[in-house]
Amino acid sequence: NVRKVEPKRDARYGALTDAHAGALEQLVGGSANVITDEEHLKAYNSCWMNKFHGQSKLVLRPRSTEQVSAVVAYCNEHRLALVPQGGNTGLVGGSVPLFDEIILSLGKMDKIESFDDISGVAVTQAGVVLETLDTFVGERGYRVPLDLGAKGSCQIGGNVATHAGGSRFVKYGSLRNSVLGMEVVTGDGTVIDSLKVLKKDNTGYDLKSLFIGSEGTLGIITQLSIACVKRPHASQVALFACESFDSVKKVLPLARTRLGETLSAIEFMDGAAVQLALKHLHHVEDPMPGEQHPFYVLVEAESAENFVVEQLMDRFVTEAFEAGLAVNGVMSQNDDQKHKMWALRESLPEAVQKSGNATFKYDVSLPMDAFYALVEDTRSRVRGQEGVHCVGWGHIGDGNLHLNLSAPSKGLSELLEPWVYEWVSKHRGSISAEHGLGQMKNHGILYSRTAPELALMRQLKQVFDPNAILNPYKMLPLV
Ligand code: FAD
């Protein structure tokens, strides 16, 4: 019952006329907030990986909720399809059109509305870049409980729409815990004001949670409130080399036991991924020059006090060596060293991108006993294919593996799909851990969800977006 349907432009959607373009330009406050020239449209029509491409002729850049609402109401009336776009760093083609859908770019809605330094709650427009928000609350002693490699470009609205996980999920948990309220424009232009700043609020259904992870298919997130956490003053990062994946697995419970609540990140990289980064990216430094190991684990601990982190880390590292889990390791002595270790981990997507003409990315959740077997089995499957790299890394504390391949051409996908999804489903994993389904995996939703769940999702779509103008051809399978 899992079938990939070749997308075709749905004839129910209207075509963009000059009259529509003129009316929409007025609704967003004039030509300064509109993009129509071919050259500038390219970046909006193409994803970060240069893998998914659309042919939109119009990008709208509203500045307020009222403008978003007016645009959506107009598009709903005229059946014009819309694609909400944040920082366009998504990895499943969710933020780019397939055909001529209008792009609604949130980048000009970049105002941080308020911050309460007693509760730590920030209220912000959706288009604020994650790093900007984090710097803003950082100056007030707090941090956004979300961190990821694309932080300099992705937007908080895009993060919430994808339900991004990132490297601090292991400490702070899901955005569903920290997003307290939201303002959303649904498919007919209605503004739903659920912009609460309360940590406890059991009044009826939790509507805002429906929009978290809905990938722009149920509504446009225009504002949100998020509970930030106190910024720790002290941190330390250790990078271990391990000889087997069995050792990597055992580092995890040891880190949890010895570092307790100070454990703020635990990331895994295989040696092949590290070698790709060292080969293709000059800004990345080799943490253990002259050595190559099959696996690496980056562990970060944070606390309000230096001595706490130092003592706990020392004991943890000593035990990891005594138990034979680590064969070499480096521990940060200053911020520059921490930064370099993180830079290595965060550079891996770019390294894969640079290592071939075509890339294949699979973001999956797996039980720990199947975790690295997927990389090994994929390597066996592509063995003999010229110029192919197959590497793995991920947020191992959350059971989240990023399987990545690069190849000289796109042809490899026939070997990989649906094989990877079937493999994951057979091992009781999820085909989408944190990146969403977008247009890449929407056909595969039934690998990880049941038919009644899918039916209910379709009903929800109908309720929030009756004419299906919001982000068509994404998330739900095509029929
Ligand atoms: P976009 O890519 O613009 O959009 C993503 C989806 O959200 C689309 O479906 C879009 O239509 C929708 N959308 C965007 N804004 C809105 C809005 N305001 N209202 C409604 N819908 C909206 N992801 C992780 O989870 N963890 C990681 O560790 C991680 N690391 C990454 C590292 C790199 C180098 C890169 C390039 C990406 C990484 N990602 C990661 C993926 C990506 O950064 C996240 O999915 C991010 O949350 C997307 O935010 P964005 O603003 O770029 O959204």
Q: How many Cα atoms occupy the beta-carbon half-sphere of 69 within 13 Å?
A: 12
**How far is ligand 1, taken at its centre, from the CA of residue 254, in Å?**
32
- 404 in a structural domain: yes
E strands in 153-294: 179-186, 191-194, 219-227, 229-230, 234-242, 263-270
The structure tokens 């796109």 sit at: 410
Pocket test for ligand 1, best of 52, 128, 162 (most atoms within 8 A of CB): 162
Residue type, 435: H
Average pLDDT, the chain: 97
CA of 87 to the centre of ligand 1 (A): 7
- Ligand 1 atom with the shortest distance to the CA of 83: 11
Residues 414 and 373 in one domain: yes
Nearest alpha-carbon partner for 391 in 440, 354, 430, 432: 354
Angle at 390 between CA 387 and CA 393, to 5 degrees: 150
Q: Name residue 472's beta-bridge partners.
A: none
For residue 229, report the phi and psi dihedrals to the nearest 5 degrees: -115, 160
pTM: 0.95
Of the residues 212, 230, 248, which one is the last residue of a structural domain?
Answer: 230
**Domain interval for residue 122:** 112-230
Using CA atoms in the order 469, 470, 476, 479, what is the torsion angle rounded to 10 degrees? 10
User: How many folded domains does the chain comprise?
Assistant: 3
What is the predicted pLDDT for the residue at 1?
61
pLDDT, tens digit, for every residue of 358-381? 999 999 999 999 999 999 999 999
pLDDT beyond 90 at 407: yes
The verdict on 203 and 270 lying in the same domain is no
Strand order of the sheet with strand 112-116? 112-116, 121-125, 219-227, 179-186, 191-194
Check which CATH number belongs to the domain holding 186 and give it: 3.30.465.10
* Residue 237, both tokens: 């990062």
- Judge if 208 and 276 occupy the same domain: no
Q: What pLDDT is stored for residue 2 in this prediction?
A: 76
With the most atoms of ligand 1 within 8 angstroms of its CB, the residue from 95, 215, 404 to mutate is 95
429: Cβ below 6 Å to ligand 1? no
In a domain, 210, yes or no: yes
Separation of 91 CA from ligand 1 center, angstroms? 7
Query: What per-residue confidence (pLDDT) applies to 4?
Result: 85
Q: Determine the Cα–Cα distance for residues 274 and 288; give it in Å rounded to an integer.
A: 11
In this structure, the answer to whether residues 221 and 300 fall within a common structural domain is: no
Q: Is the CB of 68 under 6 A from ligand 1?
A: no
Of 319, 348, 377, the last residue of a domain is 348
Look-up of token digits 């909720």: 65
Q: From CA 331, how far away is CA 72, in angstroms rounded?
A: 52
Nearest ligand 1 atom, CA 471:
11
If asked whether residues 219 and 318 sit together in one domain, one would say: no
Q: Is residue 216 domain-shared with residue 141, that is, in the same domain?
A: yes
pLDDT at 409 over 80: yes
